[in-house]
Structure 1
Amino acid sequence: MCRVRTSRERTVVHVPLGSDAIHLKVRVRTYECVACARMWHDDLGALASGRTLLSRAAVDWALRRVALESASVAACARTLGCSWNALDRAVRAAGMRVLSESDPYGAVTRIGVDEHVWRHGASGDRYVTVIVDLTPRADGRPARLLDMVPGRSAQAFANWLEARGARFRDRVEVVAMDAFSGWKQAAARMLRTAVEVIDPFHVVHLAAGRLTMVRCRLQREATGRRGVKGERLYDCRRALLKTASLRTPRQRERIDALLADPVNDALRLAHGAYQRIIACYRHKDPRRGRRMMGALIDALAEPTATRRCPELRSLGRTLKRRRADIPAYFTHRHSSNGPTEAINGRLETLRGIAMGFDNFEHYRQRSLIHSGRIKDILTH
């Protein structure tokens, strides 16, 4: 036989009705056994999880808004009429619980790796290593964020790969990366059977940087200062970086006149190498594009070809050093690191929505909710 010993009222935040917050007033009774004096109370486990003041339905509503609509936790907290701290903890816990119920590494065969600046403060490590699953790209689905680890080094990437286990490492076939040697060192040490691919964007970006360096050097040699409006080298700075087939007739005329000047012979060489790299990647036949890229790398490796252009000699050394990684793009479809850069952009958006982060683990969890597999799980 039992009796009601005490009762108290508990407020539980529930799913809002439109823009109006809904708070449930729940009376929780404490019971006492008359014979043995043992006490217990009503179980609210079906309504709310643990000691949180948020109902399960409210947490699910906020998680869907944060993950699917990129809403901020602050906006969801205002709509629900609860504190930011309580909702942030509940959303992160619910999101990581949903992700843990699936195997995020089970079907991964292609990964992309890049660095990301997660905070801009004066103290602490600013960089993290971002690992992205590129496997869904083969089916036309978007890539997803796999994980983030502090630091930007070969050791940080290698430690993450080691923690995934031998089965995961043996399953990875392609690693897409930029020209940073740290990624290559870690991949060569931990992923012995995987093919390393340098993304086309970064190769073109390297060539564009050398072309700009040549233009700036010629400008300083001619005038002793930086370029200003009205000078040919400065006025053509954007047209020089444009694909030749996409230039307007006026741009073609100005570039031809600029490159015809014998004083700009080094610029002509750098511009020619830059346009040839673009032509390799734009070629309709991948096999032909691969052969063209190989011939270009061999040509730039010749000392006589770059004698008059030291910037181009530096580019030739870089391309020669990654001789196997650059042409690999042409034989491995869906190996571009573009989706990794896209997710980097989405993480920048998340930081803007949240007005920055102080705790890396909180940032990692929110990033996985924002750009991970959770969207597929919630919508299926």
Structure 2
Amino acid sequence: MADVTFTRADLDTFAGVDGLGLVITGQRIEVGRAVLACRVIEPDPWCRRCGGEGRVRDSVVRRLAHLPCGWRPTVLEVTVRRYRCRECGMVWRQDTTAAAEPRAKLSRAALRWALEALVLSHLTVARVAQALAVAWDTANDAVLAEGRRVLIDDPDRFTGVAVIGVDEHCWRHTGKGDKYVTVIIDLTPVRDRTGPARLLDMVEGRSSEVFATWLSDQDQAWRDAIEVVAMDGFTGFKTAAARMNFRPRSRSLTRST
């Protein structure tokens, strides 16, 4: 190879399926979308019930919304083998959890793309859904679940927090449900000049009760370690802090976001 900075062209890597346990076997470019035919790399011949060996019975196709090619929606058509156990007769499908959650309509790579598009690129859910060619509810539910898994459920996200910001955000512009969420942000990296602010949590509603409940869910040791809290002039946040005896060394009544 003349230039060692290049590697051999690889559609699996280019399309982002190399980490999903899939290999691309074909492609079809349509007017409004790209379709990639795939198969599962690893065989899955052992029975979940008795451990006996199965034989291939037939195959089915699982369709997953995937990373858009540019702004052209991309669909993975994954051929999934079905096995029947020689011993007990149980039927099962090849394991595709590396590619997507069970019954999910988006690949794991598409989920990551959608989350980054919302958080980093500030795209709307409607724009993300359009790029993936899925319904708004499908994109919204998937992103919320993925966001909770990688952000909210991260056990280490509260580690080292010394400065927090509290603010409300109007996230719903319809008559259904609460219009506001309370947003709690880690401002420690901004104060220490080590990086950008981090989202700690978002709680539906805007009231002293909402923030007080969130504070009560945190360890006392964590609350005691907070040095500064930045909040806007909404009195509910200050009331909640007083109710919970939340006494940081300093409070700033400037907007935190």
Please tell me the TM-score bracket, short chain as reference. Answer: 0.5 to 0.7
Give, in angstroms, the shift of residue 162 of structure 1: 1.0
Q: In structure 2, what is the equivalent of residue 364 of structure 1?
A: none
Unaligned runs of 5+ in 2: 1-52
Alpha-carbon contact 1:14-1:24 (below 8 Å) kept:
yes
Aligned length: 203
Q: Does 1:109 align with 2:162?
A: yes
The change in CA–CA distance for 1:67 and 1:36 in structure 2 (over 3 A counts) is: same
Pairing of 1:1-380 with structure 2 (within 5 A): 2-99=54-151, 100-119=153-172, 125-140=178-193, 141-191=195-245, 193-199=247-253, 337-338=254-255, 340=256, 343=257
SS in 2 for 1:52: coil
Cα separation, 1, equivalents of 2:216 and 2:96: 42
SS in 1 for 2:217: helix
The change in CA–CA distance for 1:170 and 1:63 in structure 2 (over 3 A counts) is: same
The change in CA–CA distance for 1:136 and 1:57 in structure 2 (over 3 A counts) is: same
Q: From the two aligned structures, give the one with the greater helix fraction.
A: 1
Q: From the two aligned structures, give the one with the greater strand fraction.
A: 2
Alpha-carbon contact 1:52-1:86 (below 8 Å) kept:
no
Alpha-carbon contact 1:179-1:198 (below 8 Å) kept:
no
Cα separation, 2, equivalents of 1:163 and 1:198: 23
Alpha-carbon contact 1:184-1:196 (below 8 Å) kept:
no
Alpha-carbon contact 1:177-1:196 (below 8 Å) kept:
no
Cα separation, 2, equivalents of 1:58 and 1:23: 10
Q: Which runs of 4+ in 1 moved over 6 A?
A: none
SS in 2 for 1:44: coil
Opposite residue 145 of structure 1, the aligned amino acid is L
Higher Rg of the two aligned structures? 1
Q: In structure 2, what is the equivalent of residue 349 of structure 1?
A: none
Summarize deviations over 1:29-86 as a string: whole Å, max 9, x none: 2222233322222111222221123222222222222222112233233333333332
Cα separation, 2, equivalents of 1:72 and 1:97: 20
Cα separation, 2, equivalents of 1:82 and 1:124: 23
Cα separation, 2, equivalents of 1:153 and 1:13: 38
Opposite residue 131 of structure 1, the aligned amino acid is I
Cα separation, 1, equivalents of 2:82 and 2:219: 49
Unaligned runs of 5+ in 1: 200-336, 344-380
Cα separation, 2, equivalents of 1:180 and 1:81: 40
Cα separation, 1, equivalents of 2:66 and 2:86: 36
